[in-house]
Structures are given as structure tokens and as C-alpha cells.
């Protein structure tokens, strides 16, 4: 795409001169700048690059909101596995649908093969930037960890494991009371039920944060994310990593070496924080917290017990999007161009009597201006069609999103309740097993002790031997009776807990089904919107190109009048 040095107008193809004002056309530094994606996102500026792609800021043509668009690097796009892995991020984020996980609003592939994700634009800083400033205060670190844990609880409930949790992938949004966490980059996430796109035994993750089971190339589950979160929390609290060294050294240390307690680096940290972090960093996943729900519960208990009047509250809602921001300079959407062309045609028509005061304007000029006016009317109809289609679809997407958030919050609450019930049920069953073991343990000793008691006649004073035998038998009988009482009391309670737990899990499955249904509806709607909006945008762009072509001789005609040149240029640079 080329841009005029004078008026800033952009043109497809390889023209050398601006047909509007004769200015020199130069190549844009980035061919994606100014391009419209999916019929409604106009690319404004490049803002970053990562291992798999490049990220741009773009503007939604209709709602006026900034978004981020990530494109898969062209040198990776030819490999199907890379495309699958790249788009996995969208499917994973949409399946989870949590306020602390970046919202991906669209994804797909352009006609010329560019694979992209459209996501919310984040105004904040990565967690690694905050950590680089030094250790984070314990209460702030725990509030950040709680939000990460809540997001992971939802992800794990939806059978999604992140596999690359690290400070670079955790964003702290600004402009809000307290830190509002957003987790990024689910490109390495694993979802139950998907086909493997990598070789068995492949190691994924970042060496500094990788779990022992990931380091071994073994199958992983939610515990891997909990381990990585433990490393992140350790680093937040101390400013250093639990293990350091080259990549091979790091992997070996994660596998074999026990970490020091965080308080070794920061002596003021309380013992319960040491215990929490070291439990997360256990080598065996079964020695970590049983679930992210359980960890979230532990963090919330600690925060409640250590509440400070100076500490800010945990934000409960997403910071509002800045829909009032100014669009990036040089970002001109097709919708805006339609309005500009209506004004340009009006100005050109007013110049006719000034260029030809004797009424001798050539017929071709009058005819061309009339056709241009009709073309602009046709452009306006396309503009209205595009606006209407995108507005209706965007409204429907917002309704789906709101429903997903409500269902998600209900799922989180049920998940936390189910986890607490599960722990109580496990404790009760453990006590029952212990009681049964005690009964089995004292059965033979009770019989043996009873056999030691000789018969004696009524009224006869028992001697010391009889009393000792009675004492032994009584003690053993007491153990047996206490164990029987545990079985009697806990039996009904276990059945009650089991019923409640089963009911909660049933409700959770129902909610997950509804979330899945909404996600499917959303994806179908997006497919339709992407197709229709893309088609309308292409027609609009083609029509704009035709207007530029028709306007070129008209503009050149008026530029032949020196006293009108400034007004012509002003009309086309406005």
C-alpha cells in the first residue's frame, strides 16, 4: 500500500503519483498498517513481537474501541502444527472465558493467508516489569496470586492446562484500584480431547518456571500450572527465582533440588507463606495443593487473617475499556473515507462555477461529478449495511459474553463449594478407614484379654489379677466402642456429603455445558460476521478505489487553475 506525502491518502497497487493532488506516493513502512481485518478492524500501529508472531494495535471501525491483533509469523504459518498451536490460544481462552484471562474476540485467516487473533487491548505492564523493581509486598503479591489462581481454577475446570505460566504472560492493568490481573498466551495450552500436534515426550514451557513433570516430558495436569505459579509467587516475594543457571541446570534443579524457603531471601516473610510456596513447589504433583480451588481458598483465608487497612481491595470487575480514546494518527477507516468523499464531491461541485464563470464547463466534468455523487451515495449504502451488520453482531456478542460471565461466576462458586465438600468428604472417609483399622487391630486383643478373666462366684471379692484383666479388656473395648461410634456417626454424614458433592458436580457439568453451547453459538456467529463483514468491506474498498479512479481526472482538471489548487488540496487532506 502506498501513501501520498501531501494529503496522506492511501492507495492499493503501485501508483507513483497521487491522483488527488499530484503528490508523490511512497510505500508504507509496514504493508499491514491501514489494512482492515475481518471487515471491521483497522490496523493502526505495530506494538510488539513474540516468538510466534507480531502484535498490532487496531481500531474497531464501528464501536471505536482499540484492540490488539496478533499475526502468526509468515515463516511459521506454512507449518500446519504451528497454525493449530497459534489458534489454540483463541479456543482455550474462549473455552475458559474468565475475567482474569485475556478476551479473544475473533480469530481466523485472511484471504492472503495471514493467521490472526483479535484480543482486548491491555493498558498496563507485564508482571516481570514489576518484579524487576524488587520484591513485591506480601499482601500485594498474594492478591495477585489469588487472581491468577482463580483464573487457573476456571481453566482447569474446563480441562485446560496453560503449561507456560510466567510473569511475562501475566499483565497488571493500570487505571484501577489495586492490580487487575490478565493472563495471556494460551498458545501452549493443552485441552482435553484435542488431537496431539506435537511429538510425544516434547518439552514445553519456560525453563525457569517449568514443572518437574514437564521437564521429564511426562503427561501433565493442573498440578503443572500450580508449580509454575509457585515459582512466580516465589519470584514476586523475593525478587529472585528459586533456581538459577543454564537451561540444562535449571531442568535438573526442577527435577532434583529442593528450593530454599522464600524467607531465606526475605527474612520478614511469615512461616505460613513459606509453607504455602514450598507446597506449590513440591516435586510430586500429589504433594501440592489438590486443586486451584483449594489454593484459592488457602490464599483467601490468609488474606482475611492478615487484612491491612492500608491494603487496596481486590478488584471484582474488569476495568472499563477506554472507548473514548483518540484513534491513532494516519488511521483512516473505510467508513470515515465515505464521509470524507461526500464532502470532497460537494467541494468539487462548488468549484465548477469558479473554474468556469462563463458557464463553459466541459460536459465530461459535469457528468463525472454527477456520477461521483451517485458513487458516493452507493458507498453510503454499503457503509450503512456494514455498520448495521457489525452493530447487531457486536451487540449479540456482548449479550453472549455477559451470559458467559454470569455462568462462569456461578461455576466458580460451585467449584469452590465442591472443593470444600470434597475435602470434608475425604477427611470423613479417612477417619472411617482409621476407625475400621482400629477395630481390626483390637479384635484379637479384646478376645485374648477377655479369656484372661477367670470366672468367679457372685459376692466374691475380685483379686488384683482379675482387676488387671478387666482393666485391659475394658481399655481395648473402649477403643473398639469409640471406633464403632465413629462408623455410626460418620456413615450417614458421608452419604449426605457424597450426595451433596455429586449434586454440585452435576450442576457444574450443566453450567459447563451451557458455557460450551454459548461458545459454539459465538463461534458460529463470528464465522458469519467475519464472512459478511469481510465481503461488505471488500465491496466498500473496491467502490472506494473506483471513486478514486473516477475522481482523478476531475481533480487534475481543477489543479490546472492556480487560484483553486489550495482549496483542492485542502478538500483532499481534510
- Where in the sequence numbering do the catalytic residues fall? 164
Cα-to-chain-centroid distance, residue 158? 13
What are the beta bridge partners of residue 24? 17
Taken in order 144, 146, 147, 151, the sign of the CA dihedral is: positive
Q: What one-character DSSP code corresponds to residue 283?
A: S
CB 258 within 8 A of CB 230: no
Phi, psi of 135 (to 5 degrees): -55, 140
Q: Which three cell numbers stand for residue 310?
A: 492500608
Report the distance separating Cα 573 and Cα 398, nearest Å: 36
Separation between Cα atoms, residue 43 and residue 331, nearest integer Å: 7
Angstrom distance (rounded) from CA 155 to CA 334 = 39
Q: Are 372 and 550 in contact (CB under 8 A)?
A: yes
Per DSSP, the three-state class of 97 is coil
Q: SS3 for 10?
A: strand
Q: Is the dihedral of CA 227, 229, 233, 236 positive or negative?
A: positive
Spacing of C-alpha 424 from chain mean position: 32
The DSSP-derived string for 301-349 is HHHHHT--TTSPPPP-SPPPP-TTPPPPTT---HHHHHHHHHHHHHHHH
CB < 8 Å & 24+ apart, contacts of 130-136 = 130/167, 130/172, 131/167, 131/235, 131/236, 131/239, 134/239, 135/236, 135/237, 135/238, 135/239, 135/265, 135/266, 136/236, 136/237
Q: What is the rounded radius of gyration, in angstroms, for the C-alpha atoms of the chain?
A: 35
Amino acid at each position: 500500500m502506498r501513501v501520498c506525502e501531501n494529503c496522506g491518502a492511501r492507495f492499493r497497487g503501485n501508483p507513483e503519483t497521487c491522483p488527488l493532488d499530484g503528490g508523490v506516493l511512497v510505500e508504507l513502512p509496514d504493508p499491514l498498517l491501514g489494512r482492515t481485518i475481518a471487515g471491521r478492524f483497522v490496523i493502526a500501529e505495530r506494538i510488539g513481537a513474540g516468538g510466534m508472531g507480531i502484535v498490532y494495535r487496531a481500531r474497531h471501525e464501528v464501536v471505536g474501541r482499540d484492540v490488539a491483533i496478533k499475526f502468526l509469523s509468515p515463516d511459521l504459518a506454512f507449518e500446519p502444527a504451528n497454525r493449530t498451536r497459534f489458534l489454540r490460544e483463541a479456543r482455550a481462552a474462549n473455552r475458559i472465558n474468565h475475567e482474569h484471562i485475556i478476551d479473544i474476540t475473533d480469530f481466523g485467516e485472511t484471504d492472503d493467508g495471514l493467521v490472526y487473533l483479535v484480543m482486548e487491548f491491555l493498558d498496563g505492564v507485564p508482571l516481570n516489569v514489576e518484579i524487576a523493581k524488587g520484591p513485591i509486598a506480601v499482601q500485594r503479591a498474594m492478591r495477585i496470586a489469588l487472581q491468577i489462581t482463580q483464573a487457573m481454577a476456571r481453566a482447569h475446570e474446563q480441562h485446560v492446562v496453560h503449561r507456560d505460566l510466567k510473569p511475562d504472560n501475566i499483565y497488571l492493568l493500570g487505571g484501577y484500584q489495586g492490580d487487575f490481573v490478565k493472563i495471556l498466551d494460551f498458545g501452549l495450552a493443552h485441552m482435553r480431547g484435542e488431537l496431539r500436534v506435537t511429538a510425544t515426550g516434547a518439552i514445553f514451557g519456560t525453563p525457569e518456571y517449568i514443572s518437574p513433570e514437564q521437564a521429564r516430558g511426562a503427561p501433565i495436569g493442573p498440578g503443572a500450572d500450580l508449580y509454575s505459579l509457585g515459582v512466580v509467587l516465589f519470584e514476586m516475594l523475593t525478587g529472585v527465582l528459586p533456581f538459577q543457571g543454564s537451561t540444562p541446570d535449571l531442568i535438573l534443579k526442577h527435577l532434583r533440588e529442593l528450593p530454599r524457603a522464600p524467607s531465606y531471601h526475605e527474612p520478614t516473610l511469615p512461616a505460613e507463606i513459606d509453607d504455602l510456596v514450598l507446597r506449590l513447589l513440591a516435586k510430586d504433583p500429589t504433594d501440592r495443593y489438590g486443586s486451584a480451588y483449594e489454593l484459592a481458598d488457602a490464599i483467601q483465608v490468609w488474606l482475611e487473617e492478615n487484612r491491612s487497612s492500608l491494603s487496596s481491595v481486590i478488584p471484582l470487575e474488569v476495568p472499563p475499556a477506554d472507548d473514548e480514546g483518540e484513534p491513532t494518527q494516519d488511521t483512516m477507516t473505510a467508513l470515515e473515507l465515505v464521509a470524507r468523499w461526500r464532502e470532497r464531491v460537494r467541494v468539487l461541485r462548488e468549484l465548477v462555477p469558479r473554474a468556469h464563470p462563463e458557464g463553459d464547463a466541459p460536459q465530461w466534468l459535469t457528468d463525472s461529478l454527477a456520477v461521483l455523487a451517485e458513487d458516493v451515495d452507493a458507498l453510503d449504502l454499503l457503509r450503512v449495511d456494514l455498520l448495521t451488520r457489525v452493530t447487531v453482531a457486536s451487540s449479540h456478542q456482548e449479550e453472549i459474553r455477559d451470559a458467559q460471565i454470569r455462568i462462569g461466576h456461578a461455576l466458580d462458586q460451585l467449584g469452590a463449594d465442591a472443593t470444600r465438600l470434597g475435602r470434608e468428604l475425604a477427611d470423613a472417609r479417612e477417619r472411617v478407614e482409621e476407625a475400621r483399622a482400629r477395630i481390626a487391630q483390637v479384635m484379637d486383643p479384646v478376645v485374648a484379654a477377655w479369656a484372661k478373666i477367670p470366672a468367679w462366684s457372685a459376692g466374691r471379692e475380685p483379686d488384683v489379677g482379675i482387676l488387671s484383666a478387666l482393666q485391659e479388656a475394658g481399655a481395648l473395648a473402649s477403643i473398639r466402642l469409640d471406633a464403632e461410634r465413629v462408623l455410626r456417626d460418620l456413615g450417614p454424614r458421608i452419604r449426605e456429603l457424597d450426595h451433596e458433592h455429586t449434586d454440585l458436580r452435576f450442576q457444574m457439568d450443566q453450567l459447563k455445558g451451557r458455557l460450551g453451547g454459548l461458545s459454539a453459538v459465538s463461534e458460529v456467529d463470528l464465522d458469519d460476521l467475519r464472512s459478511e463483514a469481510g465481503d461488505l468491506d471488500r465491496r466498500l474498498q473496491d467502490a472506494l478505489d473506483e471513486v478514486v479512479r473516477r475522481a482523478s481526472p476531475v481533480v487534475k482538471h481543477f489543479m490546472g487553475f492556480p487560484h483553486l489548487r489550495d482549496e483542492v488540496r485542502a478538500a483532499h487532506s481534510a
